[in-house]
Structure 1
C-alpha cells in the first residue's frame, strides 16, 4: 500500500514536471492566455480564413514602435480579449518594414503605428484603429467591426 502511494506521487510529480517543461519550451507561461498570432505567410492566413469562414485580425507593427511593444506586453494578454480573438479571428502580426509587410502596408494604406485591422475572409478592410488601445478597447473595436454591439 505504501509503495502504491509512493508510485502515485512519483507519477503525478513526473506529469507536472513534463507539463511545466513543455509549456516553457513553447515560450508561454502556464495559465496566462494571450492572443495567438499565426506564423504563416499572409496568403496562407487568407486561405485559412476562407476555409474557416473567419475574419482576420491584423497587428501591423514595426520593431522600433513603443506603442506596438506595449500592445504586445499588455493588450494582447488581456484575458477577455484573448478569448474573443482566439475564438473569432485568424490573428496575424505583420512587421510593415520587412518582406511582404511593406507591400501589405501600402495596400492597406497604413500611415501610423500601431495599426490594428479587421479584414473580411477575402482580405478586404472592414475596420481599422491607429494607436495604442487597452484590452477592453480592443474588444469593443472588434465587436463593433463584427456588428455584434
Structure 2
C-alpha cells in the first residue's frame, strides 16, 4: 500500500510539474541579456510583442505553456521578451526592423542575428523554428548573406523564398526572389 501511495505521489508530482511548464524570460535590459548570453555561451531568443496583438496573446496562452516548447527554449536559449511599443522595445524594433507581431529573433551568443520569423504557429512548428536558427538551409540571415553575395542558384532561391515568407521582412526583396524563381521556371519549360 505504501508503495502504491509513493507511486501515485510521484505520478502526481510529475503531472503537476508538466502542467505548470511555461516559457520564461530574462528580466532586465537588452545589454544585460547580451552579456549573460556571452558569459553562458548560449544563443538568444528575442520575443517581440505588443500588448494588443491577438496572435501574441494566442502564442502566450497556447504555445509558451507547452512542455516541449519550454524545455527546448530553456535548454537552448537565453530568452528575452520585449514590448516594442515602449522604452527599449522601440529602439530594438528600429534596430532590427521589426515590422509585424509577434516577431521571433534568434541571435548567436555574440549577438549576431541568425534567424527571424513570426506569426502564430503550433508548438511543434515553434520548436522547429528555434532549430532552424542553426540550420544553414533554413536560417534567414545565412541564406540572405548567400543571396547578397550573388548566389542565385535554384536551390538558394527556393530556400530563401521560404525563409523570406516566414520572416516578415522586406516585401521588395521577396518580390525579387520570387521573380528570379519565375524566370528560372520559364527557362526550364
Matched, 1:77 2:65: yes
- Paired with 1:105 and 1:92, the residues of 2 have a C-alpha distance of 14
Cα deviation, 1:29-63, whole Å, max 9, x if unaligned, reads x5211111111211100000000111100110001
After TM superposition, the score normalised by the length of structure 1 is: 0.76
Q: Which has the higher contact order (CA 8 A, sep 6+)?
A: 1
Bigger shift: residues 67-76 or 139-148: 139-148
Rounded Cα–Cα distance in structure 2 between residues aligned with 1:148 and 1:108? 20
TM-score w.r.t. structure 2 length?
Answer: 0.61
Structure 1 gap segments, 5+ residues each: 1-29
Matches within 5 A, 1:1-149: 31=17, 32-147=20-135
- How far the C-alpha of 1:122 sits from its partner, in A, is 2.3
- In structure 1, distance between residues paired with 2:27 and 2:136: 28
Using the alignment, how far apart are the partners of 2:60 and 2:90 within structure 1?
20
Q: How large is the Cα RMSD of the aligned pairs?
A: 1.6
Q: Between Structure 1 and Structure 2, which shows a larger proportion of helix residues?
A: 2
Q: What is the aligned length? A: 120
Give the C-alpha shift of residue 130 in structure 1.
2.0
SS of 1:77's equivalent? coil
Q: Which has the higher strand share?
A: 1
How far, CA to CA, are the matches of 1:148 and 1:127 in structure 2?
10
